[in-house]
Amino acid sequence: FTRSQLLTAVRGVAIESYERAIDAHIKNIRRKIEADPREPRYVLTAYGVGYRFAEAQP
């Protein structure tokens, strides 16, 4: 998901000045769910795009 897509899903509108707020929320989510937030396994960064969920392991 791009930052804009995430903002639109949450707020109903994507406002550019709030895009860095997404980074702060992702950081907090990683801190809560990842064993090592610096090496995320579940919420991954899609460089130049935004974020993505890791694919489920069979």
Domain membership of residue 58 (yes or no) is no
Domain membership of residue 42 (yes or no) is yes
**pLDDT at site 52:** 94
Q: Which residues contact 47 (CB under 8 A, 6 or more apart)?
A: none
**pLDDT at site 27:** 96
SS3 string of 1-58? CEHHHHHHHHHCCCCHHHHHHHHHHHHHHHHHHCCCCCCCCCEEEECCCEEEECCCCC
**pLDDT at site 36:** 96
How many structural domains are present in the chain?
1
Domain membership of residue 45 (yes or no) is yes
Q: Are 52 and 26 in contact (CB under 8 A)?
A: no
**pLDDT at site 16:** 67
Domain membership of residue 49 (yes or no) is yes
Give the domain extent around 47: 3-53
Cut 0.85: pTM above it: no
Residue 34 belongs to domain with CATH number: 1.10.10.10
**How confident is the model over 1-58, as pLDDT tens digits?**
888 888 888 877 767 667 788 889 999 999 999 999 999 999 999 998 889 999 877 6
